[in-house]
Amino acid sequence: MQGPDIKGRSLVNLKNWTPEEIDFLLRIAANEKKNSREGIIKRRFEGKTLAMIFEKRSTRTRCSFETAFGEEGGHPVFLSNADIQLGAKESLEDTARVLGRMFSAIEFRGFSQKMVEELAEKSGVPVYNGLTDDYHPTQALADIMTLSEEFGSPAGRKLCFVGDGRNNVVRSLIIICSKTGTNCTVVSPKALHPEPGLFEEIKPWLKASGAEITVTEDISAVKGADGLYTDVWVSMGEESKKDERVRLLSPYQVNDRLLEMTGNKNCIFMHCLPAVKGEEVTVSVFEGGGSRVWEQAENRKHTIKAIMLATLLNQDVY
């Protein structure tokens, strides 16, 4: 497939990815999804290796990277922080330099955004952020792919994120929406609003794409939404904040009443998963006809395969 040259690039937070590069990844992902439906699997990662570092738990992200890479003949190696010297007996810089000598690429899921950025800087190979406390860029790509499948293009659509407005998923959504022209409204209690610094950073992208990003405490802002998106109230590593979050976020549950408040009977429901049903979303909405959570989950694999194809291989093989 023809597109901008992104071979050798890392994906740490999407900030340095242009709308054209994001669009290219989404085109590759759509093609890979079609191939997978038709049972077409090639051996494009043969002879390549992928280090998969996980400090936090994962189902979708781990399985997406591992199956997308392995089914194409690549050799993924899962490394939990109980297995490797990183952070215990060896500095991040030294681990990065060793992994860079042995692997074609590195995936990292953990706490610190600085760690994934340092891995990218010091390893000399493409590094993919599989979630940190700050960002979840591979999730955002699957989310935009899901919106594109639903609406043709996400541009000009209204996506409302309702819940914990300052977590990793929301930050990455704000970034990708501002680059793809998707209007994003974050509906969240004031104590959980995204940091003002992010709004300064996205200004040029908003200007270029025409997207509008708004933040409010007022749940009536869901009116006119094409999609309602939520995530857990307590992200990994924040378990001690559970009681406070339940108190703050109970009025922001995505339930049938909120869905009705959109005034749009075609409004879809999105969730990055895993979900805590009965907290951020009711079973009724989660299992309802507008739910697209399984498409989103599947699209994680196609978008992640697209990232690895585009950053590791020449364009003539995908």
Quick one: 122 or 241, whose CB is closer to ligand NVA?
A: 241
Alpha-carbon span 103 to 86, nearest angstrom = 16
Contact positions vs ligand CP (CB under 6 A):
58-61, 131, 139, 272-274
Q: Which does 293 bind (CB under 5 to 8 A by kind): ligand CP, ligand NVA, none?
A: none
- Which residue out of 44, 60, 62, 109 is catalytically annotated? 109
Using alpha carbons, select from 145, 209, 133 the residue that is nearest to residue 171. 133
The DSSP element (H or E) to which 151 belongs, if any, is: helix 137-151
Q: Map the footprint of ligand NVA across residues 205-234, applying CB under 6 A.
A: 231-232
Using alpha carbons, select from 296, 284, 162 the residue that is nearest to residue 233. 162
Quick one: 221 or 234, whose CB is closer to ligand CP?
A: 234
State the minimum distance, in angstroms, from the CB of residue 131 to ligand CP.
Answer: 6
Q: Map the footprint of ligand NVA across residues 60-99, applying CB under 6 A.
A: none
CA distances from 94 to 100, 123, 154, 171, 218 (A): 10, 9, 42, 30, 48
How would you classify residue 193: left for phi > 0, otherwise alpha for psi between -120 and 50, otherwise beta?
beta
State the minimum distance, in angstroms, from the CB of residue 63 to ligand NVA.
Answer: 13
**Pair of tokens at residue 39:** 């049972």
Quick one: 127 or 211, whose CB is closer to ligand CP?
A: 127
Alpha-carbon span 110 to 185, nearest angstrom = 27
Q: Which does 85 bind (CB under 5 to 8 A by kind): ligand NVA, ligand CP, none?
A: none
> Contact between 13 and ligand NVA (CB under 6 A)?
no
State the minimum distance, in angstroms, from the CB of residue 147 to ligand NVA.
Answer: 18
- Which residue out of 160, 184, 267, 272 is catalytically annotated? 272
Judge whether 171 counts as a catalytic residue: no
Judge whether 247 counts as a catalytic residue: no
Quick one: 177 or 219, whose CB is closer to ligand CP?
A: 177
Judge whether 231 counts as a catalytic residue: yes
* DSSP per-residue codes, 121-138: HHHSS-EEE---SS--HH
State the minimum distance, in angstroms, from the CB of residue 61 to ligand NVA.
Answer: 7
Q: Map the footprint of ligand NVA across residues 164-193, applying CB under 6 A.
A: 167-169
Judge whether 157 counts as a catalytic residue: no
Residue 72: phi and psi, rounded to 5, are: -100, 20
Alpha-carbon span 133 to 136, nearest angstrom = 8
- Which residue out of 134, 143, 164, 231 is catalytically annotated? 231
Using alpha carbons, select from 228, 233, 299 the residue that is nearest to residue 270. 228
Judge whether 136 counts as a catalytic residue: yes
288 alpha-carbon distance from chain centroid: 23
Question: Sheet of 75-80: strands edge to edge?
Answer: 75-80, 49-54, 105-109, 127-129
Quick one: 244 or 298, whose CB is closer to ligand CP?
A: 298
Judge whether 177 counts as a catalytic residue: no
Binding mask 249-278 for ligand NVA (x = CB under 6 A): -----------------------x------
State the minimum distance, in angstroms, from the CB of residue 19 to ligand NVA.
Answer: 25
Alpha-carbon span 191 to 73, nearest angstrom = 47
> Contact between 141 and ligand NVA (CB under 6 A)?
no
Q: What positions carry a catalytic annotation? A: 109, 136, 139, 231, 272, 300
